Amino acid sequence: MADTDATAGAPGPEDATRTSQGSAPAVAGSVERPIARVLPLLEPVHLDRDFDYRVPPEMDALAQPGVRVRVRFSGRLIDGFVLERLARSEHTGKIVSLDRVVSGERVLTPEILRLVEAVAARYAGTRADVLRLAIPPRHARTEAEEPKPVELPEIPESFPDWERYAHAGSFLAALRAGRGPRAAWQALPGEDWARRLAELAAVVVAGGRSAVLLVPDQRDLDRVLTACTDLVGDAAVGLAAGLGPTARYRRWLAALRGSARVVVGTRSTVFAPARELGLIAIWDDGDDTYAEPRAPYPHAREVAMLRAHETGAAFLAGGFARTAEIQAVVESGWAHDLLAERSTVRQAMPRISAPGDTDTAMERDPIARAVRIPATAFAAARRALAAGDPVLVQVPRRGYIPALACAKCRTPARCRHCNGPLALPDSASGGQGPRTGSRELGIAAVRTASGETAHSPSCRWCGITEAAFRCGSCGSRALRAVVIGAMRTAEELGRAFPGVPIRGSGGSSVLTSVPEGPQVVVSTIGAEPTVPGGYGVALLLDGWALLGRADLRAAEDALRRWMSAAALVRSNGQVLVMAEPSIPTVQALVRWDPVGHAHVELSGRTEVRFPPAVRFVAVDGTTDTIAELLGDARLPAEVEVLGPVPLPFGARKPFSGDTPAEVERMILRVDRSQGAALSRALLAAQAVRSSHRSDGPLRVQIDPVDIG
């Protein structure tokens, strides 16, 4: 396809269609391949096509495949990438020239281009959208810097800690031989997983290839990068948005130019242009930060598997827990297990129990299952503190009391102005909060002499203080705490353990590590700091808040979060999970059986046709935009259409334009064998809407993380 002369009445894409009526002769001059096939970075879906431009002689040396260029399209200057150079164009009309070559750096490698095309096809998106995720913005000064030579230190020939896992020796041998093994690794409790990943990367680097390691957040990135630097020196770099554009682009260029052989980073690092990729590994793939919030909404785990398949590189998914998606590829034979023997697991894991899990325990503490922190948990914490050991307390929610309800009828407390949820501010205690275990909050009890409430609940949406709450259902003015936050929990534990340091980790103040010694660390989920030697006791509170979520992945996510916290406890320590002992997820934690839990979870989803057993598409929009999309789509005959149904306010994602007042969701479900056909049909339907200039709110997400 070729764009036409921009001076002829502002031509558009209709002037740039490829035709089979004949080929234009090669452009005369000294340029051997005078045609550059360019992919402009255009928003409309129907313009996700290649266009041909003439290469002026002065740009011949720089306009090579993979470089950034500026081209004129419909009278506008557009960024783009040169895909290939040709001797002649199939377009029979007039061909305009490239406006300029932005840089001679070939940032779009053939391997990344193939990956971009595969991701766009998988997620019914455009290549332009994927390229914006894959290639960072250019910084000319950084690009002009001379690359620094990197010398590799001596890398050990063997790593004996991997011998605890069955088949790990074969996996490492395959890496050394340059093959592409694929595995799911279940790390032992207390395992130095960052060091293990660094060792795999070092094996690959010793063989002359590169590795890409994906982690959920900056804390994990720092930990893995430190371990990699210890083994391969300056050949390891970290990529994350927090670096700033200049430093990030410098490290990205180091990977492109080959001086960085190990790239550690968050979700977008899955596109890092590592030379001769030998391994791509992802840690804790169930973390929701791996889901890209920008179109076409790819998941880093799926992109990593696509890249491993396309390049033949090795693939590893590691974690303490396991997702149903990884279990599915193991059961399909695409990957194999790296597991430790049960005897090794029992030696490494702490003692895990749920209060009231036996008749004897219930006789000793009849209300163990009813209270938030039972007597057995307090006793275990006191013993650990007396022995000089730290105690970890995991809380699902941050804040003070982030959810309130009517104390009489249990109706959720709502704001009179916007109907948002009411919460008690973080400063509401004033040192006079109710005693441990109490959830009743009398509003009248916190009024000042002037009649105003000193610590009244406020709306979490609009921020307006509700000074005179009255239940809309029963008229009661009393409130009850539905969820206790981390700050309230720390306050209660401070009164229970006077003189013991209480540390908090979560929100804007996340601790990476804490020193040894007797202390209580109250942490929100995912913010648990490490401690040298491990914690003596861990209390996992409010298990019902995790298991009771109306989400397909609630059980899987709860086990993952619990195991991540329990793995920080020393092998002779104790973990108490405050949840119903008979729940299968709790039993999987007690037995430390993530593989069995993932197998049951996958079997259940297969039976009811949920991901990953099927391809699932969520279409969000208004009634009209959803109907328009499906009217233009030629869906496979096997597609099952569910809905549309109104989408709750809290489950809505922002649209590119204004979010409508009423949003609906329609679900499309099809067997995985028909997934590619469904993606093509949806992309074609979006292209039709785009060509008709339909700009109504619409979002198409394939296999979204949160499907309810």
Residues 341-397 have pLDDT tens digits of 999 999 999 999 998 665 555 555 554 555 678 889 999 999 999 999 999 999 987
Neighbours of 422 (CB within 10 A): 25
Query: 474: annotated binding-site residue?
Result: yes
Of 163-177, 200-214, 429-443, the one with minimum mean pLDDT is 429-443
Average pLDDT over residues 65-82: 96
Model confidence at 690: pLDDT above 70: yes
Q: What is the pLDDT of residue 706?
A: 83
Quick one: which of 205, 258, 208 has its CA closest to 229? 205
Residue with tokens 């034979």: 333
Residue with tokens 């391994």: 279
Average pLDDT over residues 417-423: 76
Q: Domain limits of the chain?
A: 30-106, 144-345, 350-400+483-591, 613-702
CATH no., domain 144-345: 3.40.50.300
Query: 409: annotated binding-site residue?
Result: yes
Q: Do the bridges between strand 314-319 and strand 182-186 make them parallel or antiparallel, or are there none, so unpaired?
A: parallel
Quick one: which of 238, 256, 239, 272 has its CA closest to 104? 256
Average pLDDT over residues 201-219: 97
Model confidence at 451: pLDDT above 80: no
Structure tokens that stand for 22 in this block: 């004949």
Q: What is the pLDDT of residue 454?
A: 39
Neighbours of 695 (CB within 10 A): 11
Helix, strand, coil content of the chain in percent (nearest 5): 35, 20, 45
Q: Summarize pLDDT for 224-270 with one digit per residue, the tens.
A: 999 999 999 999 999 987 888 899 999 999 999 999 999 999 999 99
Same fold across 144-345 and 350-400+483-591: yes
Please report which confidence band the pLDDT of residue 553 belongs to, taking 50, 70 and 90 as the band edges: very high
Cα–Cα distance measured from residue 659 to residue 223, given in angstroms and rounded to the nearest whole number: 39
Query: 459: annotated binding-site residue?
Result: yes
Higher-scoring residue by pLDDT: 324, 22: 324
Fold assignment, 350-400+483-591? Rossmann fold (3.40.50)
Average pLDDT over residues 672-676: 95
CATH no., domain 613-702: 3.30.70
Please report which confidence band the pLDDT of residue 323 belongs to, taking 50, 70 and 90 as the band edges: very high
Q: What is the pLDDT of residue 477?
A: 82
Element (H, E) at 627: helix 623-632
Q: What is the pLDDT of residue 708?
A: 60
Cα–Cα distance measured from residue 377 to residue 361, given in angstroms and rounded to the nearest whole number: 12
329-358: buried (b, 16+ CB within 10 Å) or exposed (e) per residue? bbeeeebbebbbeeeebeebbbebbbbbbe
Q: Which amino acid is at 51?
A: F
Model confidence at 452: pLDDT above 50: no
The gap between the terminal CA atoms of the chain, to the nearest Å, is: 43
Max mean pLDDT range (87-96, 610-619, 641-650): 610-619
Query: 462: annotated binding-site residue?
Result: yes
Annotate 98-157 with three-state secondary structure: CCEECCCCCCCCHHHHHHHHHHHHHCCCCHHHHHHHHCCCCCHHHHHCCCCCCCCCCCCC
Q: Summarize pLDDT for 112-124 with one digit per residue, the tens.
A: 999 999 999 999 9
Residue with tokens 């009024």: 447
Helix axes of 584-591 and 594-608: crossing angle, nearest 10 degrees: 150
- DSSP letter at 670 equals E
Please report which confidence band the pLDDT of residue 549 belongs to, taking 50, 70 and 90 as the band edges: confident
pTM: 0.86
- DSSP letter at 25 equals P
Cα–Cα distance measured from residue 49 to residue 36, given in angstroms and rounded to the nearest whole number: 14
